[in-house]
Amino acid sequence: MSIADRVKFDDRGLAVAIAQDAVNREILMVAFMNKDALERTLQTGTVHYYSRSRNKLWMKGEESGHVQRVREIRLDCDGDAILISIDQAGVACHEGYRSCFFRRWDGTDWIVDRDRGVDPASVYGRKPS
C-alpha cells in the first residue's frame, strides 16, 4: 500500500492540497492533487498538482521556474486534505504575488494588501487574470 492509498480522493479522484511555507507557515496556495500528482511529488520531492481546468498533471514551476520543494507532507483527520510544507522558489501565485492570498476583505471591498513579487507577463508572457 502506498501513502497515496490512504488519501480519500473525491468522486473525481481529487483531494485538496494546501502549500504552506516551511519557515513562516504562511499559506501560499491551494490546489488539487490526484493520486498520480501525490505519488510524483513523493518520488521527486518537487510538488505536482492536478489542473482541473487543463485536465492534466503539472509540476509547480514548470513554466515559471518557481518550484516548490517538499519539506513535509501531512494528511488531515478525514484523510481528504493534504498539507505540504514547502520551500518556495520565487512566488507561488500566477498573478506574481508570493501567496495567492493577497486580497483582504476590509468590510466593504477586497483590498490588495501585498506587493507583487514579479510581473506575471515576464514569467508567463501574459497579463494577470
Q: Per the domain annotation, does 94 fall within a domain?
A: yes
Q: Per the domain annotation, does 127 fall within a domain?
A: no
Largest distance between two CA atoms of the chain: 50
Mean pLDDT per block of 10 residues along the chain (129 residues) reads 86 97 98 97 97 95 94 96 97 95 97 94 67
Question: What's 27's domain CATH number?
Answer: 3.10.20.810
Q: Per the domain annotation, does 53 fall within a domain?
A: yes
Q: Per the domain annotation, does 59 fall within a domain?
A: yes
Helix (H, G, I), strand (E, B) or coil at 18: strand
Total domain count for the chain? 1
For the chain, the 3-state helix, strand and coil shares in percent, each to the nearest 5, are: 15, 35, 50
Q: Per the domain annotation, does 124 fall within a domain?
A: no
User: What is the domain range of residue 10?
Assistant: 3-117
Q: Per the domain annotation, does 79 fall within a domain?
A: yes
- pLDDT attached to residue 4: 80
pTM of the model: 0.90
- pLDDT attached to residue 73: 97
